[in-house]
Structure 1
Amino acid sequence: MKLFDEMSKFGELIDVDVPVLLDFFTEWNETSKSMHPVLRDVAAALGNKAKVIKIDVDKNKALSEALRVKTLPTFIIYKNGEMKWRQTGQHDANALINIVQQYI
């Protein structure tokens, strides 16, 4: 699981042939923080079949605004540069794993 911090590389990040699960979060949002261990489990379960990347909206305001992220946490899945799925709110690890696996 990686922490993303450069908008200029966003295109490269999502233009890959494996699903990329993005987690838009902040450290001050309790629901976002509660998802950290869940995302670790998701990343471990999926291994190299998918990428899990956390994006701090406070450090990536331009990207967050461009993608209209207003509610935290927001999860988005990209594959081959195309948005495949998007949802806000808390999820358990199994639900996220099942959703990502649909795009593998």
Structure 2
Amino acid sequence: MSKFTNLINNSEVPVLVDFYADWCQPCHMIAPTIKSVKAKLGDRLTVIKINSDKNQQAMMKYQVRSIPTLILFHKGKVLWRNSGVMPEHELMKVIERYA
């Protein structure tokens, strides 16, 4: 089992997975938002960044068709997903429901 699969299946706290690419401008736009949310939630949330160009298998498995895509997992279950950039307060509101 990969480290990624192990983490999303066994983490005690929700895991936010950020599917991104280095060349993706919207991915660069949402990165500070994700950092800020993680800083505010601390140990209540784990964040993983997955480079879409290097992880095609994960992209296919989770049917990620556009980037950035954020998927929130807990105990292997998808709790929420969103593609595109979103304001920090909206992302915070979604994650606080689970964290």
- 2:6 aligned residue: 12
- What is the aligned counterpart of 2:38 among 43, 62, 69? 43
- In the aligned structure 2, how far is the partner of 1:44 from the partner of 1:92? 16
How big is the shift at 1:17?
Answer: 2.1
1:15-45 CA distances to partner (integer Å, 9 max, x unpaired)?
A: 2121111111101111011111111101101
Q: Are 1:96 and 2:71 matched, yes or no? A: no
- Structure 1 moving runs of 4+ over 4 Å: none
Identity %: 36
- In the aligned structure 1, how far is the partner of 2:91 from the partner of 2:48? 13
Gapped regions of structure 2 (runs ≥ 5): none
- In the aligned structure 2, how far is the partner of 1:101 from the partner of 1:85? 12
- In the aligned structure 2, how far is the partner of 1:36 from the partner of 1:21? 12
Gapped regions of structure 1 (runs ≥ 5): 1-6
- In the aligned structure 2, how far is the partner of 1:19 from the partner of 1:81? 9
TM-score normalised according to structure 1 size: 0.87
Q: Secondary structure at the match of 2:4?
A: helix
Q: Secondary structure at the match of 1:69?
A: coil
1:62-95 CA distances to partner (integer Å, 9 max, x unpaired)?
A: 1111111111111100011111111111112221
Give the aligned CA root-mean-square deviation in angstroms.
1.3
- What is the aligned counterpart of 1:71 among 66, 70, 74? 66
TM-score normalised according to structure 2 size: 0.91
Q: What is the number of residues matched between the two proteins? A: 98
